[in-house]
Amino acid sequence: MRFASFSSVLILCFCLLENGCSKGVTRSTAASVFFVKGNVVFGNANRKDFQPVTPESTIHTGDTVCTSDGASINLALIPGAFIQVSGNSEIKIEDLRLTKDGNETAGGMLDRRASIRLNRGKLVSLFNHSHRSTLEFNITTGQVTIRPNSDCLFSVWTDGATSRVACGRGDVNAFADAQFSVKIAAGYFSQWPTASNEPMAAIADARAQMDIKTALDVEPELLDQAAGRQNRRVF
């Protein structure tokens, strides 16, 4: 009887340990500020509780970030997903999560997830999937959801009624609804609402050309800032 009880305890402990190691520990995390220029505020939009962004600010799930005319902010949402939000723009952080091996402290990352909503204005995103852990990243507007799944650089703009996505490097997937999706390659853009289901060459549209030029200008800035934070603990 004693042997059976002891064996049961051992089996239970092994199962708990096995489940803990395989599933990892999931925690909410916060976006890190790479750089901020001009008047940028963040906080709870429902309570109208905003404060100025500083380089030391941590921006959490549920926070809204607003930039004034001429302002901008560079953010690391999670490792591998970086954005610059342009002036006169507003984003909401909808989800930021990391899953790590419970036995690891600095490394052992298993899963990364980030989801943001662009309510108005423009942002540039640099997506770097060069890590063995799972990385899910969504940007949503009123018309489309963007889900990159490989290394890419792209721009998203919306005024609330219309949205435009332009790709500067790699390619990016955009979903207008559950039935329709489009893959936008470098040098192309798509706009919603639209009568065309195919991406269009950016060279044919001055606004899309400017979107791509802005993205290419921002890319080295985000890369340099990301490299500077490479060894920083995420939680």
Walk along the chain (235 residues) and give the pLDDT tens digit of each residue: 444 444 444 444 444 444 444 456 878 889 999 999 999 999 998 888 899 999 999 999 999 999 999 999 999 999 889 999 999 999 999 999 887 765 444 455 557 899 999 999 999 999 987 656 678 899 999 999 999 988 999 999 999 999 999 999 999 999 987 667 899 999 999 999 987 779 999 999 999 999 999 999 999 999 999 998 765 544 3
Residue 8 counted as domain residue: no
Residue 15 counted as domain residue: no
Residue 74 counted as domain residue: yes
Residue 43 counted as domain residue: yes
Q: Which residue has the tokens 């002036």?
A: 87
Q: Regarding beta strands 109-127 and 134-140, do their DSSP bridges make them parallel or antiparallel, or are they unpaired?
A: parallel
Cα(91)–Cα(30) distance, integer angstroms: 14
Of how many residues is the chain composed? 235
Instruction: Give pTM, 2 decimals.
Output: 0.83
Structural domain of 184: 25-228
- Domain harbouring 177, CATH code: 2.60.120.1440
Residue 18 counted as domain residue: no
Report the candidate in 58, 54, 124 with the shortest Cα–Cα distance to residue 87: 124
Residue 44 counted as domain residue: yes
Residue 16 counted as domain residue: no
Cα(202)–Cα(102) distance, integer angstroms: 46
Domain count, the chain: 1
* Rg of the chain taking only CA atoms, in angstroms: 21
Residue 13 counted as domain residue: no
